Structure 1
Amino acid sequence: MSDAAKQQIIAQEQGRTLGWKRRAATALLGENAARTVAARLTDLRAVRESSLTAAGRANRSNIKQFKNSHAGERCVIIGNGPSLKKTDLSLLSGEITFGLNRIYLMFDELGFETTFHVVVNQLVVEQCADDFRRIQAPLFTTTPSRAFLDGAENVAYLNKLAGPRFSRDASHGIWEGATVTYVAMQLAYYMGFSEVVLIGVDHRFAVTGPAHQVVESAGPDASHFDPNYFGKGFKWQLPDLETSELAYHLARKNFESNGRKIVDATVDGALTVFPKVRLEEALGP
């Protein structure tokens, strides 16, 4: 049996698709109006979270220190696809990097820890909280993660906003866009990076099924760079590639409208939203 075949769905969806409130609002108002209402409500909640408590104000101040802190510079967002094993990672030496989710499993091979770290999926945070507490770099996550990471150092909690949208102000909040990679793009924009290089963003998975369905791995992980990434017994959610593509288009539009760019140096990646380049060309002088 192949590794992919061993990735069986053995935990059913656990209420992480449309909630009854959103379904009711959509039925009553229509999809567009319901999205507008949801966006306004999350904006109000973000303002409340960031201003009414000392912890909220301190957290927002922490995030704001990163605004334009890397204006005009280049960064690399490192995805977690199997293509990383075919990528010349030595080229990343000296680059500013964003690591995502469990990229720390590759730190020994990389020979360095990423400059920034981003994780937003609550199943990943819950099951790997001790690992994230050991991350030395500034860690960006979302406000629900306080339940697992409260008290950890160098953690910034981002407000979750309803979308679709591209947030240019991370201190207010972000739209997740169904992928942590998109959150990293919004953070890169906020920090002022003029060029973002993607690697390991394969945009394909060995397991298929309904978007956001919760599954429990029954064998080695064939969808990421390490078979133990979401190894046996790990609960995770199936990808929503359609929503993530919508998000990526928003990212490209916002970067390019501001004279910036995102390029894709993933080896044999399936994503077609961004211009394709070879990594050695993208990181050349």
Structure 2
Amino acid sequence: MQKVKFFIVKIYNKLITKLIRLKLSKQPTKIKSLKNYHKNERCFIIGNGPSLKTEDLDYIKNEISFSCNMIYALLPKTSWRPYYYFSHDPGYIRRVNNQIKEVPAKKKFIGYFYETASTVYNDYRNIADHIYYINRSDPSYKNVQFSSDVSKKVESCGSVSFAMLQFAVYMGFKEIYLIGFDHNLNSKTEKIHFDGYTTTGNKKVDVNIDGLTQGFIKTKQICDQLNIKIYNCTRGGKLEVFERKTLEEAL
């Protein structure tokens, strides 16, 4: 009986997803409007690693920035506000959807899946002018791809930071600066989030660090071909794929 119930729910969710994706059929065109929207400009992409400090955000409050997930926890402590905000993990969206809705970003990019499609659509359809629904692929950790057209699909290697990088390239940025990309998750018990987040900041998680590394390597390959410069301005950490700069040098 339980298996039958599970099967019915799964079929129902898939039908809902198809219906909602039909309603959201204009999303690719909407995202295409962002192609080269920031041609030859620069941006800052914010990771949520433990090295991230509120003063870092205050330094870049007048810059175009990409942020994600639980960055909302630092908003009461800084005058910085996100320019672009991303969240595409279905489990995360289910857990903190109320907080995501309150993030004061100019544009939000929300992943939609059969598990969350109805929730996402019902919650955001009335404020859809600044909401962009993104179609994220299933994570790949070996043959990682980099999307050349994020209006169709955003590739995944297990981190929303990879989605932000793909969008930054698509939007035409020529200089990309990373902060809070510690990249040192060698065990399930290491602290993974910035100091300002204490509710689940030490939660055990499964992280495929090799998959993430492959994503960053792929990003560098693509950006080298396009003559896009990426600098890692993280305070410490173990991400050495990109050239290092201090945040002060970047500013």
TM-score clears 0.5: yes
Map 1:39-58 to 2 at 5 A: 53=22, 55-58=23-26
Q: What does residue range 1-285 of structure 1 map to in structure 2 within 5 Å?
A: 53=22, 55-85=23-53, 88-137=56-105, 138-144=107-113, 145-151=116-122, 152=124, 153=127, 154-161=130-137, 163=140, 164-205=144-185, 207-208=187-188, 222-225=191-194, 226-228=196-198, 230-231=200-201, 237-283=205-251
Q: CA deviation at 1:204?
A: 1.8
Deviations 1:117-170 (A, max 9, x none): 011122211100011112232111222143332131232121223552000211
TM-score by length of 2: 0.80
List structure 1 runs of 4+ shifted beyond 3 angstroms: 86-89
User: Which whole-Å CA distance do the structure 2 matches of 1:247 and 1:227 have between them?
Assistant: 26
Task: Encode CA deviations 1:179-202: one digit per residue, 9 max, x unaligned.
Answer: 111110001011111111000011
Between the two proteins, the alignment pairs up a number of residues equal to: 220
SS in 2 for 1:76: strand
> What CA distance in whole angstroms lies between the structure 2 residues aligned with 1:92 and 1:258?
25
Deviation of residue 59 (structure 1)? 1.5
Identity of aligned residues (%): 28
The answer to whether the 8 A contact 1:146-1:157 is kept is no
In 2, the alpha carbon distance for the partners of 1:241 and 1:147 equals 31
Contact 1:199 1:264 in 2 (8 A): yes
Root mean square deviation of aligned Cα? 2.4
Counterparts of 1:148 and 1:201 in 2: how far apart (Å)? 30
Q: Using the alignment, how far apart are the partners of 2:222 and 2:192 within structure 1? A: 29
Instruction: Give 1:227 shift.
Output: 4.0
Q: What SS does the corresponding residue of 1:156 show, helix, strand or coil?
A: strand
Gapped runs of 5+ residues in structure 2? 1-17
